[in-house]
Structure 1
Amino acid sequence: MSQPRKLYLCLYWHMHQPDYRDFMSGEFVLPWTYLHAMKDYTDMAYHFEKNPDAKGCFNFVPVLLDQLEDYVLQFKSGNMRDPLLALLKLPDHNTVTPEQRKLILDSCFRCNHATMLTPFPHFNRLFNIYRTLQHENEDVFAYLSGQYLADLLVWYHLSWIGESIRRTSELVARLMAKGYDYTPQERYALFDLIGEIMTGLIGRYRKLVENGQIEISTTPHYHPILPLLLDFNSAREAASDMPLPESTRYPGGLTRSKRHIESAISSHRERFGQAPKGVWPAEGGVSQAALMLLAKQGFQWGATGEGVLANSLRHAYGDQALSPDKYHLYKPYRVSDGQNALTMFFRDDRLSDKIGFEYSKWYGRDAVNDFVHELEQILHRHPEGSSPVVSIILDGENAWEYYPYNGYYFLSELYDAVAAHTDIEMATFSEITQMVTPAASQGTATAMMHVPEIVSENLPGVVAGSWVYGTFSTWIGDPAKNRAWDLLCEAKQSFDRVMADGLLNEEEKHAAEQQLADCEGSDWFWWFGDYNPSHSVASFDLLFRRNLSNLYRLLKLPIPAALGKVISAGGGNAEAGGTMRRGQE
């Protein structure tokens, strides 16, 4: 008697923030790491803790974990190097400097107003006061009292508190009910709560791994796009007319790529007790060379975007390889060079983007019903004798501020519905790799037992690209992006010369290498371009040039004049504020 087929659902949440620290001062220049920690990272753990039948994968980028642990040390020592957190605990806000006042006012209204400001009357009132003054001379802000600034800091942090904390913390409930005129003691208590959230966070995910509910994968340490470090020309595999930087290559890209990979494996082993089995290459950026480099380091599986699979199948077999019902998408693929191999999973762009961009506008239960119906239809259309694997891969932090209640109802009901569904099984990617039957082995013992198989195919080669559109156009090709690459290449050449000269001691070499690694991350290039909003572009443009300037300082070299000039001004109105992209245009 044959067993009923199942659809295997792999939910994969990518957790990442670039390094917001100034390596010279140790100060956090932007607050997004701790804000997402107290809102999104804590809520995402909570939903798995609440539903022990739920399963899934998380990807934690090592540079994010570095920052989370840095915050824990700050709370333990009392030496806060994040200026907003330090201001939250300032005893008297009547003593703030003009620069501190500007920081508070520039920072504390930066959230999605529809879900994180407007629903709170007291926070909204503070914004209305600010809005009344903002068209006047900037000096008029001096009229705002210390109590206004203190209350604004409290409400900003209350709005970024995770919904799971909001529903369980007596302190948060009391502060929200009071609404205004917060005392120093109340601000200190909120500060301590944030410290508790941060301190327990990584341990919560470690426990979920130990319970067998989740798998955690990694990314090369500072989130560099490996194919571009290895070869700028890889960008032309999916876009033959892509303009490239003036620099013909990134100097020493292979060595730098290995360094990021090895450091990530070491980081993962230290934090989670074992080497990672899976990898999300930064931005899903893959090429044949990059994947084989990862396979040589012991990774068993990886994941990327649907566009990469389509380009690769089309290149190998022609358009006929792309089935209208996407049968080709719902299976793992083996990528090999004859000696090393990885099992690769590919993102369902349409369903992933529904979670990322569409369901936030729906009533939660309707969104869940629609998602489950979509999965049922995939199973219904899938050929007999094999079970589909659906990979839902998206940002695990930025989507939820566009949902009411930080996605609380959507995620709760999603996990409940899928975990209880008789025809859907939630699984991790490592579990799927253990169940895979190669296509050449179909009809053997497994099939004879009438158990529907998870069939994998061999992919002859990978056309280089990313999860966004299947190309690297989000990170290279634009004049501003290419200019940033040229500045980085020039800095790397200076780095190589200084290292060869042997003029730095070991501590100085380590500091310079760490700063270089930070500059190699993908996020700086993501933000350059006229389609992104000006305020975000300005922040990342300044931080990138600041990082490169610090690298020259650490190398004891003069800072090039070019680093004093803005690379990109932005000015667009990208969807979701530019923090997320859809997989397809």
Structure 2
Amino acid sequence: MSDKKLKLVICWHMHQPEYRDLQTGEFQLPWTYLHVMKDYVDMIAHLEAAPEAKAVVNFAPILLEQIEDYARQVGRYLHDRISFKDPLLAALVAPSIPSDPDARLKLVKDCMRANRERQIGRYPTFQKLVKMAEWMEQNHDALSYMNSQFISDLLAWYHLAWMGESVKLTDVRVKRLIAKGSGYTLHERIEIVEVIGEQLSTAICRYKALARKGRIELSVTPYAHPIMPLLIDIKSTLQAMPDAPLPELDHYPGGEERVKWHLKHGVETFKRFFGFTPRGCWPSEGAVSTETLKMLSEFGFDWAATGGNVLHNSLRLSGIDSVSPHHPFRASGTGIPCFFRDDGLSDLIGFEYSKWHADDAVADLVNHLEQIHKHDTSTDKVVSIIMDGENAWEYFPQNGYHFLSALYKRLSHHPEIQLTTFSECLDQVIEIQTLPNLMAGSWVYGTFSTWIGDVDKNRGWDMLGDAKWAFDKVVSTGRLTEEQLALAEHQLAICEGSDWFWWFGDYNPGEAVSSFEKQFRLNLSNLYLLLGEDPPAYLALSFTQGSGAPAMGGTMRPGIENV
């Protein structure tokens, strides 16, 4: 065992794709504001409550912009009663329910999109309402008998259930509303919106405050969360998946310039919100290649990070089999250190510990870290736990409150473990190993299989390629004004996001696949309209359906297959 403490970096990646129809400003899905009020405020509350703890928090720029939009909308509603551009928030404060039975049914179904055990089952009154709603869903003719109070209570409970645990424990309004149980008035539903608005308007500032104090490091992802290696070279897929079928699109036109656009606008957006230039970058989905890392180095980033299987594949490619994985590595010719996720430890948090008692889970994680420190005799060890910052917690009791509280407390005071950040590790001049060859891949299995190589995913790439060719053709004519070009570039960036491809494929849940492929087709159609072109007829037709039941609803993936 080394005399030095084991350096541990916990990195939470906060990300939601662009859910707005950018032509109307209407939000198509509510996940951004729901995760703010449940997960982003809880995470910062845990960090605020643990002065000795440190962490890295990574933000996707389009998430920051959507939080800002929601905060602005709540302010306008509360001060001037300007209607929300989010259907669920609008329904929460509507004085009456929709007259159309199908509209009522959609509203009822939207209020059931929560974890059945941890969010719905926790509250007997909410559970009773959901059971009644399920019966009405099966008996469509009963919808006309559904009254305003039923839907008002369902909407109120849905939003109360999505509140962060730190808010439920401290906000007297939320405590009172949960205790009331039923018969929520319009005034009380507006009160819920006031609470939501407070979380939306202060969450980013709270992260900024801790970063200024040196308690956390904030890092960034390219603007709209694209898979950079695939934009640069779609054939980089084959490095980790030599037999993968590729789309008809043999290369993404102008891919390098598009990656530079995402990096430039990502950093600019980050600086607008936080007031400084980030030192680190979590590439979208931890997707890296040699060219990607070169580009990140050219943009001035001090570090990047990716999945552990990328390192394992790269070590094997380089003929190295006896080196500790708990180090940053610099791939030859890239100029930037890269940290590698401990997939086993990260997946334990994401997929296993929600089933354990919080104290047992924390004890198990600490034991794993102690064993690494004991048996890995190399110096300057850095263990990187990197994971989704929002989607795991709905599977934990009380939104992971007890687990995270115990985790930070135990690690903050452990005599052999030092909570730190990636930049602090580099500032302490730790040893950076050399990696002769880097195999392109992502944090999921070390491959790009989650985004390409499947019939439906490849179809998505071909549709995106068609739109990019149309974009380039129109831009070359010079007929777009400067403002029109900026709008089209922004819309193209949204189409290039990774999330659409994540959900394509029949192994995913049907509702999620339908929602995201519909949004993808809408995004592409809007791009064509901004270019002054008619959208292709195929964009009116669904091209992928889902019928699977993956772990955690498909919102997360393990870094290691078969977990």
* Amino acid of the structure 2 residue aligned with 1:305: G
Superposed displacement of residue 230, structure 1: 0.5
Report whether the alignment pairs 1:82 with 2:92: no
Deviations 1:287-341 (A, max 9, x none): 0001101100000100000111011111112xxx334xxx52111112342xx51
Distance apart, 1:134 and its partner CA? 2.0
Cross-structure match for 2:413: 420
1:511 aligned residue: 487
Retained in 2: the 8 A contact 1:336–1:342? no
Q: Which residue of 2 aligns with 1:71?
A: 70
Shift of 1:146: 0.7
Which residue of 1 is the match for residue 396 of structure 2? 403
Residue type at the aligned position of 1:204: R
Match of 2:356 in 1: 362
Distance in 1 (CA, whole Å) between partners of 2:214 and 2:402 is 24
SS of the aligned residue for 1:75 comes to: helix
SS at match of 2:386: strand
2:213 to 211, 214, 234: 211
Structure-1 residue corresponding to 2:136: 133
Superposed displacement of residue 97, structure 1: 4.2
Percent identity between the two aligned chains: 50
Structure 1 gap ranges (5+): 437-453
**Alignment partner of 1:374 out of 356, 368, 373:** 368
SS at match of 1:422: coil
Compute the displacement of 1:100 (Å).
Answer: 3.8
**How many angstroms does 1:567 deviate by?**
1.8
Aligned AA (1:53):
E
CA distance in 2, matches of 1:529, 1:42: 32
| TM-score between both structures, scaled by the size of structure 1 | 0.93
Q: How far apart are the structure 2 equivalents of 1:111 and 1:64?
A: 21
Paired residue secondary structure (1:493): helix
Once residues 505 and 146 of structure 1 are traced to their aligned partners in structure 2, the CA distance between those partners, rounded to angstroms, is 49
Q: Give the match's secondary structure for 2:502.
A: helix
2:192 pairs with 1:190: yes
In the TM superposition, residue 104 of structure 1 has moved relative to its aligned partner by 1.3
Q: Secondary structure at the match of 2:387?
A: strand
Q: TM-score, normalised by structure 2?
A: 0.97
Structure 2 CA distance for partners of 1:115 and 1:481, relative to 1, 3 Å:
same
Q: For residues 389-430 of structure 1, what are the alpha-carbon distances to aligned partners after superposition, in whole Å with 9 as ceiling and x for unaligned?
A: 100000000000000000000000000000000100000000
2:251 match: secondary structure: coil
**Equivalent residue, structure 1, for 2:312:** 310
Structure 2 distance, partners of 1:251, 1:275, is: 29
Q: 3-state DSSP class of the match of 1:58?
A: strand
Whether contact under 8 Å (2:510, 2:545) holds in the other structure is yes
Instruction: State whether residues 332 and 389 of structure 1, in contact with CA within 8 Å, keep that contact through their aligned partners in structure 2.
Output: yes
| Paired residues, number | 556
Q: Which amino acid aligns with 1:334?
A: R
Q: How far is 1:461 from its partner?
A: 2.5
Q: Secondary structure at the match of 1:59?
A: strand
Q: Which residue of 1 aligns with 2:203?
A: 201
Tell me the CA shift for residue 99 of structure 1.
5.1
Tell me if 1:536 matches 2:484: no
Matches within 5 A, 1:465-544: 465-544=441-520
- Flag the 1:103–1:511 CA change in 2: closer, same or farther, 3 A: farther
The residue correspondences of 1:159-170 to structure 2 (distance < 5 A) are 159-170=161-172
- Could you tell me which runs of 5 or more consecutive residues in structure 2 were left unpaired when the two chains were aligned: none
Match of 1:329 among 322, 325, 342: 325
Residue 443 (structure 1) aligns with: none
Aligned match of 1:23: 22
Find the aligned partners of 1:493 and 1:106 in 2 and give their Cα distance. Answer: 39
Equivalent of residue 234 in structure 2, options 232, 235, 239:
232
Q: Which amino acid aligns with 1:373?
A: N
CA contact (8 A) 2:2 2:377 kept: no
Q: CA deviation at 1:103?
A: 3.0
| Structure-2 residue corresponding to 1:440 | none
2:530 corresponds in structure 1 to: 554
| Partners of 2:126 and 2:157 within 8 A in 1 | yes
Instruction: Please say if residues 51 and 415 of structure 1, whose CA atoms lie closer than 8 Å, have aligned partners that are also in contact.
Output: yes
2:423 to 427, 430, 435: 430
Which residue number in structure 2 is paired with residue 39 of structure 1? 38
